[in-house]
Amino acid sequence: MKKYASFFGVCFVAMIVAVGCDAGSSKGGVAVLDLDEVASAIGWDAQLNEALKERGQALDQRLSQKKTHFEKLLEDNRTQIGEEPTEEQKQDLVRFQLRANRQLQADLQTSQQQMVQYRAGLVADFRDKLRPVAGELAEAKGLSMVVLKADPVFFVADTADITGEVIAKINEDAALKESLMLSLEDDNG
């Protein structure tokens, strides 16, 4: 079933692109936009990488602090038990260490999920801010739809690709460019 859905999805995108290939001469065609190229051209991708790096370092630091805390608790328990622990005390230490390891693994997974969500949020915000710019340029060319360039898009006529125009418009308008860029100072993790 997934195979058919994928096939029909590719066919749909191909149909949209085919309609857009005649975009320069008729109303209602499709424009194509390469978000990766826009992000790279205006430096947004570098800011994204920096923001992700900072967020990752903050999450790593929190995990490291928790690990240090658990290690201290384990050492305190060992000190309290003394040099010759009973079998039950040994088992208690092992159980504590297992619980601590499970907690650290759970915290690591949570951190990874937070990173994925954080990145997705930044990308969604970038797309939302870019949408009116792309729409305005597409409408100016008589096009009624903008699709994002992706692997299923097999061919794009030069007249349908508005990526360069979007980049030029952003670079011409300092306020627009500033609104698209990430504000790393406001992001405290």
Find the distance separating the first CA and the last CA of the chain, reported in whole Å: 41
Alpha-helical (H) ranges within the chain are 2-20, 35-42, 44-81, 87-140, 163-172, 174-180
pLDDT of 160 reads 86
Q: In the predicted model, is pLDDT for residue 5 greater than 70?
A: no
pLDDT of 128 reads 94
Q: In the predicted model, is pLDDT for residue 7 greater than 70?
A: no
Structure tokens at 135: 């729409």
* 24-77 pLDDT per residue, tens: 444 678 999 999 999 999 999 999 999 999 999 999 999 999 999 999 998 998
For residue 153, name the pLDDT band (cuts at 50, 70, 90).
confident
Q: Across-strand partners of 61?
A: none
b/e 17-55 (16+ beta carbons within 10 angstroms → b): bebbbebeeeeebbbbbbbebbbebbebbebbeebeeeb
pLDDT of 27 reads 64
* 109-141 pLDDT per residue, tens: 999 999 999 999 999 999 999 999 999 999 999
For the chain, percent of residues with pLDDT exceeding 70: 82
SS3 label, residue 92: helix
Structure tokens at 124: 């969604």
Residue in 8, 30, 52, 13 with CA at minimum distance from that of residue 157:
30
Mean pLDDT of all residues belonging to the chain: 84
Q: Are strands 29-33 and 143-148 parallel, antiparallel or unpaired?
A: parallel
